[in-house]
Amino acid sequence: MADSAGRRPRVQGASGSRPEPGAGSLCDADPVKIIGLGLDATEISRIAAALERYGDRFLRRIYTEGEIAYCRRKHDPSPSLAARFAAKEAAMKALGTGASRGVYWTGIEVVRHHGPPHLEFHGGAARRCEQLGATRALVTLTHARDLAIAHVMLVAD
């Protein structure tokens, strides 16, 4: 993007410039090793249709009791369910397993008490994290109109 004079904004750290050490740049943060990345987009209407057609059977197959309880508190649970579905898919991609090799839908749980959501891994998903050397999972969820998107990053501190 250019300003009204046609100049492009200068971003510190871009085009060969480097921030001074200790200048508060992201480079000053403690290093982490990225173990795996996953991104998924899920249609909210698809989750709503599965919920309508299969009801509790669908919920119990995909979600933990905590996730079900959290989403049922919402006026319309479908966007929150879709975001959690996308997070589970993204986590499976980050783990490199898909829904196989002992990693089950309910083995990946999106937990949100206060503040941002976080992931908890159980069973085969927890074992896979350990095999990969992942010490933390970062998750971002969003939904708008008919799309829920989740991004998961597995890291080692």
What residue type is assigned to position 122 of the chain? H
Calpha distance 52→99 (Å, rounded): 23
Q: Nearest to residue 149, comparing CAs of 77, 105, 90?
A: 90
Active site (annotated) includes residue 74: no
Calpha distance 144→126 (Å, rounded): 30
Q: Nearest to residue 108, comparing CAs of 144, 76, 154?
A: 154
120 DSSP assignment: E
Catalytic residue among 33, 93, 113, 114: 93
> How many other CB atoms sit within 10 Å of the CB of residue 125?
26
Q: Burial code of 59-73, b = ≥16 C-beta within 10 A, e = fewer?
A: beebbbeebbebbee
Calpha distance 108→89 (Å, rounded): 9
Catalytic residue among 74, 114, 122, 143: 143
Active site (annotated) includes residue 113: no
Cite the active site residues: 93, 143
